[in-house]
């Protein structure tokens, strides 16, 4: 298992639609890949991670939502598609590819998603609330859509200075990590 570097805003792979997964071809590597994805997401305290956020051109994402008095809601979605959307919500979102940035995004309040699970079996998920938000956010990633592009133009312009400042910090963090010698 290993923790992967998360691609940050500005890296091309985040704005490109990912390739559909051929489950048979990926099957062997999938368990290790999913373990790395969960480990990476948990290391940085995220609730979702799309494969292209760790540099892989694959239409696959994971979501893990911690809940009170219940086990966490954890799901793998391979080749997901939103087949139904209802209502609307307007809530704060963040993204592991934009560390430190939060903004309110308009999303459907409820969605129905079809995908394959980690065993390659078709699943249909009906979600609302935080789960619906996470599904829409991750499926957007897989379509090459980052959450700030969902914001109205005026909000995007307002966020621009903050975003530039954050980008320079991410660069410094990545560079300092590169200098640390790897343990043998």
> Is 95 near Co ion (CB under 5 A)?
yes
Which one is catalytic: 84, 92, 128, 138?
Answer: 138
Q: Which is nearer to Co ion, 10 or 23 (CB)?
A: 10
Q: Stretches 71-79, 87-95, 109-117, 162-170: which one binds Co ion (CB under 5 A)?
A: 87-95
Q: Which is nearer to Co ion, 39 or 124 (CB)?
A: 39
Query: Contacts with Co ion: how many residues (CB under 5 A)?
Result: 1
Question: In 10 A of CB 114, how many CB atoms?
Answer: 15
What is the pairing mode between strands 122-128 and 70-86?
Answer: unpaired
> Is 6 near Co ion (CB under 5 A)?
no
User: Is 138 annotated as catalytic?
Assistant: yes
Report the residue closest to Co ion, judged by CB.
95
Cβ-proximal residues to 11 (8 Å cutoff; 6+ apart), any chain:
97
Q: Which is nearer to Co ion, 82 or 95 (CB)?
A: 95
Q: Stretches 30-38, 70-78, 93-101, 158-166: which one binds Co ion (CB under 5 A)?
A: 93-101
> Is 47 near Co ion (CB under 5 A)?
no
User: Applying CB under 5 A, which residues contact Co ion?
Assistant: 95
Q: Which residues are catalytic, by number?
A: 138
């Amino acid at each position: 298992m290993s923790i992967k570097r998360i691609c940050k805003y500005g890296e091309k792979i985040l704005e490109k639609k990912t390739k559909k997964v051929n489950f048979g071809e990926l099957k062997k590597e999938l368990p290790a890949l999913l373990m790395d994805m969960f480990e990476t997401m948990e290391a940085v305290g995220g609730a979702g991670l799309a494969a292209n956020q760790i540099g892989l051109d694959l239409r696959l994402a994971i979501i893990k939502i911690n809940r009170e008095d219940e086990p966490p809601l954890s799901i793998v979605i391979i080749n997901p598609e939103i087949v139904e959307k209802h209502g609307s919500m307007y809530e704060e979102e963040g993204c592991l590819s934009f560390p430190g940035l939060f903004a309110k995004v308009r999303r459907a309040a409820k969605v129905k998603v079809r995908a394959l699970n980690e065993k390659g079996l078709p699943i249909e998920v009906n979600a609302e609330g935080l789960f619906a938000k996470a599904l829409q956010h991750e499926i957007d990633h897989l379509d090459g859509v980052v959450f700030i592009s969902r914001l109205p133009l005026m909000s995007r312009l307002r966020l621009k200075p903050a975003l530039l400042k954050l980008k320079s910090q991410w660069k410094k963090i990545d560079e300092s990590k590169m200098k640390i010698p790897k343990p043998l």
